[in-house]
Amino acid sequence: MTPDAPPLLEVRNLSIRVANARSNLVDDVSFSLQPGRTLCIVGESGCGKSQTALALMGLLASPPLSVTGGTALFNGRDLLSLPQAEKQRIRGDRMAMIFQEPMSSLNPVLRIGEQIAEAVRRHRGVSNSVARARALEMLEKVRIPAAGKRLDEFPHQLSGGMRQRAMIAMALANDPELLLADEPTTALDVTIQAQILDLMRTLQAELGTAMILITHDLGVVAEMADEVAVMYAGRIVEIGATQDIFDDPQHPYTIGLMSSMPALGRRSERLVTIPGRVPSATDMPDGCRFASRCPFRIGICARTPELSNPGGSHRVACWRAPIEETYLQPQEAQPA
């Protein structure tokens, strides 16, 4: 894929607001995604990752949430302004979403095979037997053992990991161009998590699906992402190719996230946690939203920093970036 190929998805200035809040909970978010690529959106809980994905799917809880600005061109058409019927046609067909909790997608009273077949019938208008054959094919693709038998089981008869596989099978049944995956492995134990990530990578390579993978886990990012968008309090604070972000993190928040990951921190012998917490959606501070937690805060941080390097591939929204070379030096200077 050449970098110049037209993007599959181009999100520009997406903003989302809770009714009556004085500022956006997702604010001016822009990114693009090429066909077949993976963008990870990473950040602590409450940073607006899920709402960003839900807005793209047309699934925001509205009211109280609403899109207050922006566009999201998917194959050249703006997802945010499509008529409802058109949205429903694209959803589950050209784009699909999977969640942390498979039971938010799976219907507990329908057999696994029926639900996947129903998703196929709804969008493809094929016969029952063709849809059922597709369901079986998908369960085999996600490597559910004894797939033929599982077709006739209910979700509660499957283990957590198998349910996650079934949800992936359903999401991919219509061969979408874009998969939105919101913390798909967060609830699973480490071994199962690794298996599911491996499965997702394999299927993605086979099917050529582009993916937006939402996670709070930089380990998952390192495994999966081509590009990374670091999100803090509703804004992208740093975005770039995965290698660049890991080799040369420039935003204090990105550096803080990395330093708090023992396996990844470049100075893992000195673990840092970022003090403080993400501001609430109804009470966002003016200026840089990270300032109150930032050890490098200065006067100008009362103004909102724009992403640097317009048009470049590695961009950062910080008045003081790049900051990495000086990080932790104040601590070293202090007497023991």
Ligand X SMILES: Nc1ncnc2c1ncn2[C@@H]1O[C@H](COP(=O)(O)OP(=O)(O)O)[C@@H](O)[C@H]1O
> Which residues sit at the interface with ligand X, rule CB under 6 A?
18, 25, 43, 45-51, 61, 64-65, 280-281
Residue 280 site contact among ligand X, Mg ion, none (CB < 5 to 8 Å, cut-off depends on kind): ligand X
The listed partner (ligand X, Mg ion, none) that binds 155, CB under 5 to 8 Å by sort, is none
Which one of Mg ion, ligand X, none interacts with residue 107, CB within 5 to 8 A by kind?
none
Angle 263-266-271 (CA atoms, 0-180°, nearest 5)? 70
Chain residue at closest Cβ approach to Mg ion: 50
Cβ at position 224, least distance to ligand X in Å: 17
Cβ proximity to ligand X, 23 vs 50, nearer residue: 50
Q: Where are the beta strands (DSSP E) in 172-310?
A: 178-182, 210-215, 227-232, 235-241
Residue 171 Cβ, how far from ligand X at the closest point, in Å?
18
CB nearer Mg ion, residue 214 or residue 316: 214
* Residues with Cβ within 8 Å of residue 83, at least 6 apart in sequence: none
Question: Residue 61 binds which one of Mg ion, ligand X, none, with CB within 5 to 8 A depending on kind?
Answer: ligand X
CA distances from 287 to 27, 46, 299 (A): 12, 18, 10
Nearer to ligand X, 61 or 109 (CB): 61
The Cα–Cα gap between 52 and 54 comes to: 6
In terms of CB distance, is 210 or 281 closer to ligand X? 281
Quickly count: other Cβ atoms within 10 Å of residue 167's Cβ. 27
Of 44 and 118, which has the nearer Cβ to ligand X?
Answer: 44
Q: Shortest distance, CB of residue 212 to ligand X, whole angstroms?
A: 12
How many angstroms separate the CA atoms of 215 and 234, rounded? Answer: 15
Instruction: Give min distance, CB of 22 to ligand X, in A.
Output: 14
Beta bridge pairs of residue 17: 66
CB of 45 to Mg ion, least distance (A): 7
Nearer to Mg ion, 23 or 50 (CB): 50
- b/e for 111-141, b at 16 or more Cβ within 10 A? bbbbbbbbbbbebeeeeeeebbebbbebbeb
288 binding partner (options Mg ion, ligand X, none; Cβ < 5 to 8 Å by kind): none
In the chain, beta strands by DSSP E: 9-18, 26-33, 38-42, 65-74, 77-78, 95-98, 178-182, 210-215, 227-232, 235-241, 315-316
In terms of CB distance, is 34 or 50 closer to Mg ion?
Answer: 50
CB of 21 to ligand X, least distance (A): 8
**Contact partner, 17, from Mg ion, ligand X, none, Cβ < 5-8 Å per class:** none
In angstroms, what is the minimal distance from the CB of 55 to ligand X?
9
Residues within the interface to Mg ion (CB under 5 A): 50
Which of Mg ion, ligand X, none interacts with 171 (beta carbon under 5 to 8 A by kind)? none
Residue closest to ligand X when measured from CB atoms:
50
CA-closest candidate to residue 214, choices 94, 45, 79, 61: 45
Q: Which is nearer to Mg ion, 171 or 291 (CB)?
A: 171
Shortest reach from residue 315's CB to Mg ion, in Å: 23
Is residue 171 within 8 A of residue 105, CB to CB? The reply is yes
Residue/partner pairs of 305-314 with CB below 8 Å, 24 or more apart: 307/30, 307/236, 307/239, 313/240, 313/241, 313/244, 314/238, 314/239, 314/240, 314/241, 314/244, 314/245, 314/248, 314/250
User: SS3 for 113?
Assistant: helix
Closest distance of CB 230 from ligand X, Å: 12
CB closer to Mg ion out of 42 and 80:
42
Binding partner of residue 64 among ligand X, Mg ion, none, CB cut-off 5 to 8 Å per kind = ligand X
